Structures are given as C-alpha cells and as structure tokens.
Amino acid sequence: MSSKPLADKRYAAITGRTIVYSVLIIVAIYYLVPLLLMVLTSFRSMNEIRLGQLIEWPKSFSTEAWSEAWSQAQIGARDEKGLRPYFINSILMVIPAVSISTILGALNGYILSFWRFRGSDAFFAILLFGCFLPFQAILLPMSQTLGWLGISGTLGGLIFVHVTYGIPFTTLFFRNYYVNIPGELIKAAKLDGAGFFTIFWRIILPVSIPIIVVSVIWQFTQIWNDFLFGVVFSDPDSQPVTVGLNNLVNSSTGEKRYNVDMAGAIIAALPTIVVYVVAGKYFVRGLTAGSVKG
Amino acid sequence: MSQPIKMKPRLVDKIEYWLPKVVMSPTVFLTMVFIYGFIIWTTVLSFTKSRILPVYDFVGFQQYVKLFLNDRWMLALKNLAIFGILFIVICLFVGLLLAILLDQKIRAEGFIRTVYLYPMALSFIVTGTVWKWLLNPTVGIERFVQSLGFESFSFDWLVNPDMAIYTIVIAGVWQSSGFVMALFLAGLRGVDNSIIKAAQIDGASMVTIYSRIIIPSLRPVFFSAIIMLAHIAIKSFDLIVALTGGGPGNSTDVPAIFMYQFSFTRSQMGVGAASAVVMLMGIIAILVPFLYSELRATKNV
C-alpha cells in the first residue's frame, strides 16, 4: 500500500483527469475537423479558394457550390445535371430494399425462434455465412443472372441484390431478439387456437419495435452507402448517389472545384448522418449486433 | 393429465403445419442459389478460359497460375497485408485506448462517444473524398502547415507510390476506430465490478488492474473486433477507389480492385473469378476459427 500524503494523492488524481480529458478532446477534434472543413469549404466561393488555400477560415459565404453540386454540375455524359437524379435513385432504391429485407427478416426470425422445423437451426447457421460473404465471390454470376431476369442496369435489379444480401443480417437481428421472448407465451397462444399470422401480428410484432428500428437503420446505412453493387450493376440512369459523387469528384475536366466536391460529399452523406443523429442509440446497437455477445 | 386425443388432421392444421416452411422458402431459395450456388458458379468460372463472356472450356488451374504470376496481383496481396495489419492493429489500439479513457466516468460521455462514432455512418466514398482532399499535398494539410511558417514541411504520401498505401490506413482508421471503441466500451461495461474492487483492496494499481484483469477479460471482444476489421479490410474497395483509384500507378491496388478491373473492365473473367475465389478463401480462413469458438462458447453457457 502506498502511504503518500493525501494532498499528493489528490494532486495525482487531478493530473490524471487532465490527461484523460486532454486526450479525449484532442481525439474528438481529429474526428470532427474533416466534417467541419467540409461544411466550411462548401460555403466558400471558388474565387476565395483560388486566392487563398483550402484549410482556412472562410471570408465569404455563398451557397453557389451547393446548387452547383445538386443540380448544375455536369457528371459524366448524362443529360440531367447534378447529383439530384442520383440522390433520387438512391431514395427509390433504399425504401423498397429496406422494407422488403426487414419484413422477410422479421418473418424468418419469427419462424426460426417459434416454428422450428427439422433442419431450421442448421439452415440458420448456413444463412449466417451470408453476413461475411465477400461480394466479389458473387459479382460475376449475379451480373449474368440479372441479365437473364431482364433487370440488369435497372433500379429493380439493384433492389433485388440489396434485398438478397440483406436478408442474412435482418434474419440474424430478429432471430437473436426473438429467442429472448419466452416460448410459453407462444405455446399458450397456439393452444388457444391462434394461427401463424395471428400470433405474429398480435403478439410478436407489437414487441418488435426496437429491433425493427435496428434493422431499418442497419439496412438503410448499408444500402445507402453501398458503392460496389451500385458501380457494377447499374446503368447511368440507375446509379446511386455514391457512384454519382465518385464521378463528380473524379471527373477531371477543367478546374478542380473543391467547394462543389465538398457540397456533393455532404449531400451524399446527409441521410445517414441524419439517421445517426436522430437514432444514434439504435445505430450503435445495429453496428454491434451480432459482434458482441449479450 | 389426460392424453391428447388423436384426431385426423384438419385442412387448417395442415396449412398451419406447412405455413412456416412456405414463408421461409423464398429465403432458403435465395440463400442456396444466390449465396452458395453463386460461389460454386464463380469457382467453376475460375477454372474456365472465360474472358469477356463466360465460356465453359475448362483449363484446370491455369487462371490461378496466371493470377499468381501477375505482378499486380502480388502487389495487391502485399498491399492488403500492409493495409490490413496496420488498419486492424491501429484500430484496436485506438479503440481500446479511447474506450478505457471514456470509461473513467467522463462528463459529456454521450457527446464524445457520438463524435467518435459518426464517421462510421458515412460511406467510404464520402470518407475517401474528404481525405483525398486533406491529404492532397498542393492544397491540403501539407500546404496548411507550410502556410503556418514551416516552409520545409512535407506530407506527400498520397502521391508517393511508396507511401500511398499508408494514407489509406489513415482514412480507414478515421472511419472505423470509433466502431471498435463502441465494441470495447460495451465489453468494459460488462466486466464484473466486484473483481476490480477486490483487486483494489489488495492494493493493485489501476495499470495492473487493466493489464492483468480487465484487458484479458475482453478477449472475446478482441476476437469479434478483429473479425469485423479483417472483413472490412479484405473487402475494401470503395475507400481506395475514392481516395487513390488504386494509384499512383498501381501502388494502392488491393485484391478487391484487382477483381473488379479484371472482371469488368479488362475482360479477363477467368482471372477475375480466380481472384474472387482466393478472396473468399481468405475470409473463410478467418471465419472458421471464429465460428468454431462462437459455437463452442454458446454450448458452454
């Protein structure tokens, strides 16, 4: 046991706290600065950027870069300008893809927890591998198959792909949530003559709100942020916003317009940032679900 | 208790019996065809001489030989090793450190946690766009530090073929370390407080308590985090496309970019398929021990 005087001990404790807080704050700045610079740069005019440099406090304020990125910049060779059509594609893709994969995940989780059949546990294990599947291993057959189905290069094709490879995750979420619901509850309902869908609607669904939120957030961020499927399986008309942003930033004609690039990056990131700010708790739960036990 | 009376199954019961299986069947179909079927299909393609279109002329391991004789592929593997190891080690270190610091009953913990985690909500394309600009020597950090008066400051990793792969580590860590922090924080909160109290009474210092008791008890979290990070690293495609496009030259090529280019822009489908199979093998090699220990752990409970 140390027998330092009390004052010494308290002094050591205060220094310790100071160091802890300093490190935490410095790291917080490291995480925040890129976002801050993005926002500041997006509101500067190109004239000012040309004269000065990128990392400095803005002297002017202009929303020109935003409207440029949203609806005026020429991206690739397409007629419609700006990120707007890409953004709309992403919305049209994400809504059905998230809904369908979440509904199927809920039903699968329900069956795997309360309506087990021979081989259902084995199937769950087989399905889980889909969470770790490197998508490179399915890209070539998938582009062939989408062609055969007549949906290659369409939003429908992209939605199909996202639903297919989202189901392992949504099933995992719901199944892990439902195993904690007492089975007696369901057994009693079955004895009372309630059927498969009655039990699902009346008993399971009402208690599922938290896990539905987790599943929707997870799928939303995954699908919104996807780039690989977007770049491989879509035509210029159906490309999502991540592909649009990449084309905007890497189109090397003329002067590099950093303010437009930054505004575009914020536009592409805005929906998931909003989700994160509004439902941060569930966002973290979605991220950590399945990777930490308990 | 009376025995339940056996009745002839009614139609309704039959429907009830089959309903779960019917509802489950689309998922079973999708899994078997689009996950396992496609893996087999890709493997088959890797043994053919397919170029722009799939053809089923089998050539044995020729595409694999071609793959491993290709300097670009070997460079991609080397880059993945550099990126993967640094990315995993730094994320683990930063994540654990931040989690321990945040676990010291910090004011505004919620706010700080929020700040650390938000990059994870962004797509790698956005992250790549931002960091491409910050790391660009003529306009970004280098220029900024020079303008502060340090004229000789140089930070040109992004355009330096020997260093460019390390800039990807910087951006990757920025994006993913908050997530690792969240994993460790959840793990720390789960550590039994009575053990720590007992150690404190025995006079153990905080350093000893952390290094001997708490950190070893986080083994499962380390394991999960390594799996997740390794998985991100092997699949990493968008971050590198946005940040360097694989360049300068091919200096930041990784297997995911190699696979994409050979399959879709260079019309070398056989080689692309072979590279995809090798990537899949890599994931399986990491995954099998993980799943094995997970299943064993569940049985013990």
How high is the ipTM of this complex? Answer: 0.88
B155 within domain boundaries: yes
Render pLDDT for B132-189 as a digit per residue (tens, 0 to 9).
Answer: 888 888 777 887 888 787 877 878 888 888 889 999 999 999 999 999 999 999 899 8
On chain A, the residues whose CB falls within 8 A of the CB of B220 are 292-293
Reported pTM: 0.90
Q: Judge contact between A84 and A67, C-beta under 8 A.
A: no
B237 within domain boundaries: yes
Question: Which pLDDT value is given to residue B125?
Answer: 94
Query: Which distant-in-sequence residues (6+ apart) come within 8 Å of A264 by Cβ?
Result: A69, A73, A83, A244, A245, A248, A249, B129
- B218 has pLDDT over 80: yes
Question: Which pLDDT value is given to residue A156?
Answer: 95
B5 pLDDT tier (thresholds 50, 70, 90): low
Closest by CA to A241, choosing from A258, A218, A263, is A263
B209 within domain boundaries: yes
Closest by CA to B177, choosing from A283, A134, A28, A23, is A28
Separation between Cα atoms, residue B226 and residue B289, nearest integer Å:
12
Which segments of chain A have a pLDDT < 70?
1-7, 9, 51-54, 252-254, 289-294
Question: Which pLDDT value is given to residue A292?
Answer: 40
Strands (E), A114-273: none
Separation between Cα atoms, residue B166 and residue B67, nearest integer Å:
25
On chain B, the residues whose CB falls within 8 A of the CB of A53 are 139, 143-144, 147
Give the percent of chain A with pLDDT over 70: 93
What's B267's domain CATH number?
A: 1.10.3720.10
CB distance B255–A242 less than 8 Å? no
Question: Which pLDDT value is given to residue A52?
Answer: 67
Q: Judge contact between B102 and B109, C-beta under 8 A.
A: yes
Distance from CA of B209 to the nearest CA of A (A): 15
Separation between Cα atoms, residue A185 and residue A203, nearest integer Å:
9
B297 pLDDT tier (thresholds 50, 70, 90): low
List for chain B the helix, strand, coil content (%; round to 5).
Answer: 75, 0, 25
* Structure tokens that stand for B117 in this block: 């985690």
B26 within domain boundaries: no
Question: Which pLDDT value is given to residue A75?
Answer: 82
On chain A, the residues whose CB falls within 8 A of the CB of B130 are 34, 37-38, 262, 265
- Burial degree of B186 (CB within 10 A; 0-12, 13-18, 19+): middle
- B301 has pLDDT over 50: no
Restricting to A residues 41-80, those with a Cβ less than 8 Å away from any Cβ of B are 53-56
B28 within domain boundaries: no
Is the bond preceding residue A141 a cis peptide, omega within 30 degrees? no
Query: What's chain B's average pLDDT?
Result: 88
Render pLDDT for B60-89 as a digit per residue (tens, 0 to 9).
Answer: 899 999 999 999 999 999 999 999 999 999
Separation between Cα atoms, residue B106 and residue B114, nearest integer Å:
14
B149 within domain boundaries: yes
CB distance A291–B227 less than 8 Å? yes
Find, in chain A, the residue whose alpha carbon is nearest to that of B35: A130
Number of domains in chain B: 1
Give the percent of chain B with pLDDT over 70: 95
- B2 has pLDDT over 50: yes
Domain residues for B184?
66-300
* Structure tokens that stand for A48 in this block: 């000012």
- B107 has pLDDT over 50: yes
Query: Does A196 touch chain B if contact means CB atoms closer than 8 Å?
Result: yes
Q: Judge contact between A260 and A81, C-beta under 8 A.
A: no
B7 within domain boundaries: no
Q: Judge contact between B243 and B169, C-beta under 8 A.
A: no
Separation between Cα atoms, residue A171 and residue A105, nearest integer Å:
4
B224 within domain boundaries: yes
Best of A50, A140, A204, A284 to disrupt the B interface by mutation (most B CBs within 10 Å)? Answer: A140
Q: What is the DSSP string of A17-60?
A: HHHHHHHHHHHHHHHHHHHHHHHHHHTS-HHHHHHS-SSS--S-
- B269 has pLDDT over 90: yes
CB distance A115–B20 less than 8 Å? yes
Question: Which pLDDT value is given to residue A1?
Answer: 46
Separation between Cα atoms, residue B240 and residue B131, nearest integer Å:
11
Q: Judge contact between B135 and B156, C-beta under 8 A.
A: no
Q: Match 């949203």 to its residue by tokens.
A: A70
